[in-house]
Amino acid sequence: MVITDAIHQAALLVPASAWTPAVEPDGQIRDGARVAEIAADVLKGWPPGMRLIVRKERPHPGAQLRITDADGMRLTSEVCASG
């Protein structure tokens, strides 16, 4: 999902304690990646039960940072249904 300005601003407000290690499909921790759920006004108007998960990690070597990246970390997001 595209990181909109609203999602970017909400991600910047997530406290450090709310970010947890990201896990690969095989159960291994993804080195240097953290995830958090965004539960703010960003979800206003979305269907009930939808969740927004944001991941932050260092970009691959040689990758340029984007305007939506924060503190040298690449931000990406995914939408999923709860349950």
Does residue 40 register a pLDDT over 80? no
Going 15 to 17 to 23 to 29, the CA torsion angle's sign is positive
Going 34 to 62 to 13 to 49, the CA torsion angle's sign is negative
DSSP characters over 4-48: -HHHHHHHHTS-GGG-EEEE-TTSPEEEEEEEEEE-SGGGTTSPT
* pTM, full prediction: 0.78
Structure-model confidence comparison of residues 82 and 47, the more confident one? 47
pLDDT value for 58? 84
What are the residue boundaries of the structural domains of the chain, listed by start?
5-81
pLDDT-derived band at 83 (thresholds 50, 70, 90) equals: low
